[in-house]
Amino acid sequence: MQNLREWNKSLFLKINWADVAVITLGTLITSVGIVLFLAPNKIAAGGVSGISIILFHLFHFPIGLTMLIINAILFLIAFVLLGSEFGLKSIYATVMLSVFVDLLEYLLPKSLYINDLVIATVFGDLLTGFGIALVVSRGASTGGTDIVAMIIKKYTNIDMGKALMVIDFTITLFAGIFFGKIIGMYSLLAVIINTNTIDYVLEGITTSFQAFIITKKHDAIKERILKEIGRGVTLIRAIGGFTGEERLALWVILKSPREIVKLKEIVKEEDPTAFFTITHVREVLGEGFKRISSSF
């Protein structure tokens, strides 16, 4: 019994509760987009949710339960063909999304449903795209056609992006066949909006900035960055190609535009003749930013 208690305590401490919170929020937001906007208008924006929406309107199968069953089958296939590439985070996200969809469909009054195709397509996919992006940003997945795309990638020369596009477009084609060409076209538009929303949000979540500063006042600027911005600074020896003069350059990673503004103020005040560049960094891993690895 004591060993069991210690194991449970160890498991509890290993869980990244920030990841759990963000994944839960992401699946909740996604389910709102599905229940209030996409499902009532038969908009099948690709993926397992799109298949489930089609089956719901054809056979009245519960959307969330259908998603759960399809994803369970796909996860089993993935474990057999791909190995254990899908962790607990993805399983948790998949289950929570299915639960939230059916729960909200039961709890929310039908008067809240949006029956305008344009509004439903735009806002439904903005919500689902944003929610899925939150889930993905925490290293999880809602399963679905991502698994199929990974299997296709493993056994063919087709990359995941193209495979997903073909799968999602096929689902929208079936939506057009069963519900009419207008619904099919809106479903296709929804796939495009959803994909771009996910990419845009992920870009905003993971993007940081790096600044490379060449200055004579490296000590003063370094100290102010450490104290006023709270970012670490790396000193790099740099030699001017034209002058041959050796200086210490500063390299610093920043998280937000506000920190960029503050850095510009510091450099301007300490050394107006400094030369420095600021560029986007796709992702930063390590102390002070995103952990290289995390347990769930």
Q: Do residues 170 and 36 share a domain?
A: yes
Per-residue pLDDT averaged across 192-215, rounded?
A: 82
Across 284-291, average pLDDT: 65
Structure tokens at 23: 């994944």
**Cα 33 to chain centroid, rounded:** 16
**Least confident range of 61-70, 107-116, 260-269:** 260-269
- Does residue 146 share a domain with residue 48? yes
Confidence category of residue 296, pLDDT binned at 50, 70, 90: very low
Q: Are residue 96 and residue 220 in the same domain, yes or no?
A: no
Does 229 lie in the same domain as 198? no
Q: Domain range spanning residue 189?
A: 2-205
Q: Are residues 200 and 257 both part of a single domain?
A: no
> Same domain, yes or no, for 162 and 228?
no
Tell whether 98 and 233 lie within a shared domain: no
Residues 14 and 160 in one domain: yes
Residue 262 sits in the same domain as residue 187: no
Give the pLDDT confidence of 8-21 residue by residue, as tens digits.
455 455 678 888 99
Strands (E) in the chain, as ranges, are: 208-214, 233-239, 246-254, 275-281
Q: Which of 205, 226, 251 is the last residue of a domain?
A: 205
Domain shared by 192 and 241, yes or no: no
- Helices H / strands E in the chain, number of each: 11, 4
User: Does residue 165 sit in the same domain as residue 216?
Assistant: no
Q: Is the pLDDT at 295 greater than 50, yes or no?
A: no
Q: Quote the CA–CA distance of 165 and 63 in Å, as a whole number.
A: 22
24-33, 162-171, 279-288: which has the minimum mean pLDDT? Answer: 279-288
Q: Cα–Cα distance between 138 and 129 in angstroms, integer?
A: 15
Residue 40 has pLDDT above 80, yes or no: yes
- Flag whether 287 is in a domain: no
Task: Note whether 207 and 86 are within 8 A (CB).
Answer: no
Instruction: Choose one of 205, 227, 249: the last residue of a domain.
Output: 205
Lowest mean pLDDT of 53-57, 228-232, 288-292, name the range: 288-292
| CATH code of the domain covering residue 225 | 3.30.70.120
The C-alpha R_g of the chain, in whole angstroms, comes to 24
Which residues face 237 on adjacent strands? 248
Return the amino acid letter for 244: G
**What value does the mean pLDDT of the chain take?**
85
pTM of the complete model: 0.73
Nearest to 253 by CA among 219, 237, 230: 230
Mean pLDDT for 272-288 is: 78
- Range 183-190, long-range pairs (CB < 8 A, 24+ positions): 183/41, 183/42, 183/43, 183/117, 186/41, 186/43, 186/117, 186/121, 187/43, 187/44, 187/45, 187/46, 187/50, 189/121, 190/38, 190/43, 190/44, 190/45, 190/46, 190/121, 190/124, 190/125
> Could you give the CA distance from residue 54 to residue 179 in angstroms, rounded to a whole number?
9
- Would you say how long the chain is, in residues? 296
Q: How far apart are CA 274 and CA 219, in angstroms?
A: 13
Angle at 155 (CA atoms; ends 153, 156), nearest 5 degrees: 65
For residue 21, the model assigns a pLDDT of 94
The dihedral over CA atoms of 181, 182, 184, 187, expressed in degrees to the nearest 10, equals 170
Asked if the structure places residue 263 within a domain, the reply is yes
Flag the least confident range among 26-40, 89-103, 141-155: 141-155
Q: Are 41 and 114 members of one domain? A: yes
Tokens (6 digits) for 86: 């899908």
- Res. 85: pLDDT tops 80: no
Total domains in the chain come to: 2
